[in-house]
Chain A
């Protein structure tokens, strides 16, 4: 009989050179640690479940046992009625989605132009730089509802020929005006975080100022500000509901019409659910993008 150790020894060495996992068995110590770790895990899960049950249970029981709960569920959660008017609210919600797509496209263009103007150092752009700074200051500092009212009711009252009275167009314009200011600031901060040595390297390779921006600075800046930009997109989607104040029949307005006919608030809840169905997945997606961005940055720090 051959000694089993003798025959496995060279094989083990060869496999460790090839970077494969050699015949490794966890030691007694490691096995006992494993048992302790799984005990600790089990205990943590139990604690998490217990505390969730306690907190949520308390909240729900306070809600259900409150004296007004019956009337509340009748006026806010009349599901049968809710499903009856749902098609109208969904129809309105498509307006919100269309508005979001149009606004997001225009905002990316205007926001980028504003950010580039504010970060440029060209003497020819001095007046534009001043105007862009003022623009951002004003439109970030005023409630969006006011902008919507000013644009929606102010522009038609000018009675200028060629300007539209269409509330959808005016509402969209107001949203674009406001969000361009927000997005411009996010983009500007991204541009400023790209280290000056990157510019120096690009310029020393003979790239012009514009080429440096286009090929070196902006790609890095955009990558860094993707998570906050997605945040702004979520905010934009829900803020499109504000244009209902001009009479645009979006989800909010459609819910309002149904609600004022029946004196029941369930349509509002239905509209809220529609918004959540879009914003919650997008928020989760944003979280994931942000986590990845942080991981990537940390990995770069190590290298």
Chain B
């Protein structure tokens, strides 16, 4: 067995007295997608922020390609270059064109030649059908287009692992689909991903493993067929029932 891209074991995170995550352990092998589900406030976003070293952790170990990145002496900037992160609120830079948003990090951080970075960005944009938006500013794009640009922006760094934090939660139902199909394409191409989502149907399609988070703990873990179709834990059953009632399954 080769080393998994991401290994998390015994992770704990608290904000003051508030324990947000505890005893979190899971592995993400290469070319697989691990999907985290759970109600709002269950700790999904915090977990992704911890993996991306945007938030410090209180205990446990995070390994990326076998290297411990939870070591406080590590250069966080270097690690983040290997991780792509896409946010619920897109977070495109409003003062830059789509092209500049995508090429900022390749040019400034990776030191890639400007022309080369732009042509790489054009390739990505045309692959996702957004080439004609290259010179537009983010406020001229629809929410779905903005989120797809945000995905492309993180792909431009050729990350080892992509972290997707409820990437469709700020979108209307029609736009949700264009973003989800983009993520599905990435999965087909073999991108390794950790995904937090409220879209159960989508989770079923892309997940190799599904984790159900409840009050900061993983209470159920397994292939989507098991966790989503035949959950054993009563809390998972309860959650899926409520999701079903809300018409999101």
Decide yes or no whether A200 CB sits under 8 A from chain B. Answer: yes
Chain A residues 166 to 220 lying within 8 A of chain B, measured CB to CB, are 197-198, 200-208, 211, 215-216, 219-220
- Chain A, Cβ-Cβ closest to B156: A205
Q: Is the CB of A207 within 8 A of B109?
A: yes
Q: Which of A198, A204, A207, A303 has the most CB of B within 10 A?
A: A204
Within 8 A of A (CB), among B62-105: 76-78, 80-81, 83-85, 87, 89, 91-95, 104-105
Residues of chain A within 8 A (CB-CB) of B197 are none
Task: Say whether A19 faces chain B, with CB atoms less than 8 Å apart.
Answer: no
**Closest residue of chain A to B104, judged by CB?**
A215
A70 within 8 A of B: no
Q: Does A54 have its Cβ within 8 Å of any Cβ on chain B?
A: no
Bound CA–CA A219/B105 (angstroms):
16
B108 touches A204 (CB 8 A): no
Interface residue? B22 (CB, 8 A) = no
A299→B139 contact, CB < 8 A: yes
**In whole angstroms, how far apart are the Cα atoms of A299 and B94 in the complex?**
12
Beta-carbon contact of A207 and B108 below 8 Å: yes
Task: For the complex, count residues of A whose C-beta is within 8 A of B.
Answer: 20
A197-B77 contact, Cβ under 8 Å, with A206-B109, A215-B104? no
Check A220/B94 contact, CB under 8 A, given A197-B89, A204-B80, A206-B78: yes
Shortest beta-carbon distance, B79 to chain A, in Å? 8
Q: Name A11-45 residues within 8 Å CB distance of B.
A: none
CA of A299 to CA of B140, assembled, Å: 10
Closest to B76 in A: A203
Which of the listed residues B49, B89, B140 has the most CB atoms from chain A within 10 Å of its own CB?
B89
Tell me whether B95 and A205 are in contact (CB under 8 A).
Answer: no
For residue B157, CB closer than 8 A to chain A, the reply is: yes
Quick check: B94 and A300 within 8 Å, CB to CB? yes
Of all chain A residues, which has the CB nearest B108?
Answer: A211
Q: Is the CB of A200 within 8 A of B77?
A: no
Is B147's beta carbon under 8 Å from chain A?
A: no
Could you tell me if A201 and B80 are in contact, using CB atoms closer than 8 angstroms? Answer: no
Flag if B78 contacts A216 (CB, 8 Å).
no
The verdict on B154 contacting chain A, using a C-beta distance below 8 Å, is yes
Q: Inside 8 A of A204's CB, which chain B residues have their CB?
A: 52, 54, 80, 83-85, 154
B44 interface contact, C-beta 8 A: no
Chain B min CB distance to A147 (Å): 36
A223 at the interface (CB under 8 A from B): yes
Chain B interface, number of residues (Cβ within 8 angstroms): 29
Q: In whole angstroms, what is the CA distance A142 to B109 when docked?
A: 44
Which A94-115 residues sit within 8 Å CB-CB of chain B?
A: none
Contacts of B150 in A (CB 8 A): 201
**B153 located at the interface, meaning its Cβ lies under 8 Å from any Cβ of chain A in the complex:** yes
* Bound-state Cα–Cα, A219 to B101, Å: 13
Whether A206 contacts B81 in the complex (CB less than 8 A), given A200-B87, A299-B139, comes out as yes
Please indicate the chain B residues that have their CB under 8 angstroms from the CB of A198 in the complex. Answer: 91, 93
CB distance from B221 to the nearest CB of A (A): 26
Nearest-neighbour CB distance to chain B for A28, whole angstroms, equals: 39
Question: Inside 8 A of B109's CB, which chain A residues have their CB?
Answer: 205-208, 211
Closest chain A residue, CB of each to CB of B49: A200
Q: How far is the CA of A219 from the CA of B83 in the complex (A)?
A: 25
Contact (Cβ within 8 A) B80 A203: yes
Across the interface, name the chain B residue whose C-beta is closest to A209.
B77
Q: How far is the CA of A207 from the CA of B109 in the complex (A)?
A: 6
Report A-chain residues with C-beta under 8 Å of the C-beta of B105: 205-207
B102 to chain A, nearest CB (A): 10
Of the candidates B78, B139, B140, B153, the one whose C-beta lies within 8 Å of that of A205 is B153
Contact of A200 among B54, B94, B153 (CB under 8 A): B54
Pairs A–B under 8 Å by Cβ, sample size 14: A197-B89, A198-B93, A200-B91, A201-B150, A202-B93, A203-B77, A204-B154, A205-B81, A206-B80, A206-B110, A207-B104, A211-B109, A220-B95, A300-B139
10 smallest A-B Cβ distances: which pairs?
A206-B81, A201-B91, A205-B105, A204-B85, A303-B139, A206-B109, A206-B80, A219-B95, A197-B91, A300-B139
Beyond A204-B85, A206-B78, 16 additional contacts (C-beta under 8 Å) are A197-B87, A200-B54, A201-B92, A203-B54, A203-B77, A204-B84, A205-B80, A205-B153, A206-B80, A206-B105, A207-B108, A215-B104, A220-B94, A223-B95, A300-B94, A300-B139
